[in-house]
Amino acid sequence: MSSLRLALAALYLSSALPVLAAEPAPDTTPAQPAPVVRQPLPERSQEDATALERQVPAAEQQHLQAAQDTFLALWKPANSSDPSGVVVIVPGAGENADWPRVVGPLRNKLPDANWASLSLSLPDLRSEASQPRAAEPEKIPTEPAPNSSSKEASTTAKPIEQAASVGTENPDTELQPEQTLEALTNADAERIFARIDAAIAFAQQQHMRSIVLLGHGTGAYWATRYLNEKQPKQVQKLILVAAQSPAQVEPDINVLAPALSVELLDVFYKDKPLMRKAALQRLHASKRMDRSNFNQVGLDTIAGNREAEQEQLLRRVRGWLSPKAVDKPD
């Protein structure tokens, strides 16, 4: 009987050994961590808008919808029962809807000249932002290298090409090539145009009989390009103040502005050589196209007296918007 039990036990062990041998050994190689992708920071324009919401009276704040974006605009109705219209102000790069130069003074003082004002917040320009990049993963401690003199080391060492490829085997961690400047600029234009569309729609809801676009700095470029591409019938006039184009855009504002058919006022500062040269290009282009709608005014920078400088600009803008109005002494 005992010999039979021994035979059965031997048979059982012989049948179980192949199964045990087939089980793979546990993998002790440390797993490579997934690359950490830095989350995009909030747009500076969003931070500026949040700050303005704490500073500007709530009655002046309008949150308008533009495609997927909700943005802050600052609205001031005209101090009149019969306003002439509304001036939609497009600020320049790095400026907010209440910027202390040009934007803020005009939006606050135009209502006293029988014009409502609506000043926009623009999104950050993607064409001027750096592309996101992947952060370096944490380094994993490696086991000490085996003795190079041992036979095991000589048979298990990885080839140089294979060793060099460690950490680069996953193509998903590689950065995508940067988009072209033209594509990024067009994306910027689409977002900005949507905001101007929303502003015009808001102005129409207020039953404004006249809508004027005013752009400062690079905002002048976006306002000009908007009219050039969209050609909205609701906008009758355009005002450019210290106009300039974003870097490397084509065609620039010196080409776009003279081609417009709307009434246009081009305000520049005579004591700034580059600005004066660009303004002269626009003036010559308008003459070649025989544009009687193109008006240009050169102002002097008043050093050390920003208030007087802003008042000078206001008088020029007000006089052009309402030519029959007579300036009253303050």
Q: What is the DSSP letter of 302?
A: -
| pLDDT score for 29 | 67
CA distance 237 to 6: 106
Give the residue carrying structure tokens 């969003």.
46
Per-residue confidence at 294, pLDDT binned at 50, 70, 90? very high
130 — pLDDT class (breaks 50, 70, 90):
very low
Residue 13: per-residue pLDDT: 55
pLDDT tens-digit map of 187-214: 999 999 999 999 999 999 999 999 999 9
Domains and CATH numbers, the chain: 44-123+181-321 (3.40.50.1820)
Q: Is residue 231 scored above 90 in pLDDT? A: yes
Residues 6+ apart with CB under 8 A from 179: none
Q: What angle do CA 78, 83, 86 make, to 5 degrees?
A: 70
Q: Which of 76, 128, 120, 75 is nearest to 96 (CA)?
A: 120
Is residue 76 within a helix (H) or strand (E), and if so which, with residue range? strand 69-76
* pLDDT, average across residues 238-249: 95
**How does strand 134-135 pair with strand 85-90?**
unpaired
